[in-house]
């Protein structure tokens, strides 16, 4: 068994693939083993045709992810760096999120700080528990949340993102919901019921439509409007021509529930 499999637990519950950061003694902090384990889990979920959605959470009921594990290196830095290979494992993990066409929901069961805040941002949806704190405290230790900035700026308005980064003061779960970071906030005993409602809706819809829709969403997010229009007008007839598209139209006409082929 690899260390990645010890610190990242996975399992499939019907159409839902669950990924759990399993370092409660370290506040589910990220290190190379955790980021590598999450990336591998995302790829495994993507390769399983039965999976319709992914849930990412942290072990325990206190912390979703407290960010990077800032254990000092011999030079005093918290990061292992190789000038000849500057790619961070954290960046490779975020690239795995970008490449995944399945819907990914963050189950924010506790505090999400630093890199943990970035995980919330890079997921497609997020539900959080009341009492959780979410933010980027890096300026308090002489850093700035560089690796998660691209994902923060895709979820939050510019000034709200800069406020979090420059002040280093976390938001409550309720504030994160008001600012659009969380899709829902629940009492601790209701978190899974709220999550299950999201999963029930998502897993009952066309997996092909969601897959192609997410692909398009990522493709056009940085396009000028004219290029985005050209892309999306080509995608619509492609989607209508899929087997899921044909089944969806047939089910609508016949007033029955669709049986999605996932093709």
pLDDT of residue 126: 98
CB atoms within 10 A of CB 44: 14
pLDDT band at residue 206 under the 50/70/90 scheme: very high
> CA 97, CA 103: separation in Å to the nearest integer?
10
Contact 236, 182 (CB under 8 A): no
**DSSP one-letter string for 69-122:** --PPPTTS-SS---TTS---HHHHHHHHHHH--S-EEEEE-SEEETHHHHHHHH
pTM of the model: 0.93
pLDDT of residue 205: 97
pLDDT of residue 69: 85
Least confident range of 4-18, 22-36, 73-87? 73-87
Q: Please, what is the average pLDDT of the chain?
A: 93
pLDDT in tens, 81-107: 666 666 678 889 999 999 999 999 999
Whether 189 shows a pLDDT value over 70: the answer reads yes
pLDDT band at residue 74 under the 50/70/90 scheme: low
pLDDT of residue 27: 96
> CA 158, CA 20: separation in Å to the nearest integer?
30
pLDDT of residue 86: 60
Percentage of residues in the chain having pLDDT higher than 70: 92
**Site of tokens 């506790």:** 110
Average pLDDT over residues 119-138: 98
pLDDT of residue 71: 67
pLDDT in tens, 32-64: 999 999 999 999 999 999 999 999 999 999 999
Whether 1 shows a pLDDT value over 50: the answer reads no
């Amino acid at each position: 068994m690899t260390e990645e499999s010890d610190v990242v637990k996975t399992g499939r519950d019907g159409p839902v693939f669950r990924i759990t950061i399993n370092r409660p003694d370290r506040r589910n902090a990220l290190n190379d083993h955790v980021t590598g384990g999450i990336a591998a889990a995302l790829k495994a979920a993507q390769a399983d045709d039965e999976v319709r959605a992914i849930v990412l959470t942290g072990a325990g009921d206190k912390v979703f992810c407290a960010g990077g594990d800032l254990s000092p290196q011999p030079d005093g830095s918290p990061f292992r760096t190789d000038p000849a290979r500057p790619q961070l494992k954290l960046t490779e993990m975020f690239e795995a999120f970008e490449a995944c066409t399945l819907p990914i929901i963050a189950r924010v069961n506790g505090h999400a700080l630093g890199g943990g805040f970035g995980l919330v941002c890079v997921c497609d949806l997020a539900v959080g528990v009341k009492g959780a704190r979410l933010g980027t405290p890096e300026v308090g230790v002489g850093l700035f949340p560089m690796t998660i900035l691209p994902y923060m700026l895709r979820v939050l308005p510019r000034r709200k993102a800069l406020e979090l980064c420059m002040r280093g003061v976390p938001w409550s779960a309720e504030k994160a919901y008001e600012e659009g970071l969380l899709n829902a906030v629940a009492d601790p005993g209701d978190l899974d019921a709220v999550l299950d409602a999201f999963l029930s809706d998502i897993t009952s819809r066309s997996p092909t439509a969601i897959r192609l829709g997410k692909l398009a969403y990522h493709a056009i997010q940085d396009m000028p409007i004219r290029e985005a229009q050209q892309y999306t007008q080509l995608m619509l007839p492609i989607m209508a021509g899929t087997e899921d598209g044909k089944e969806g139209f047939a089910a609508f006409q016949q007033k029955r529930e669709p049986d999605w082929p996932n093709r």
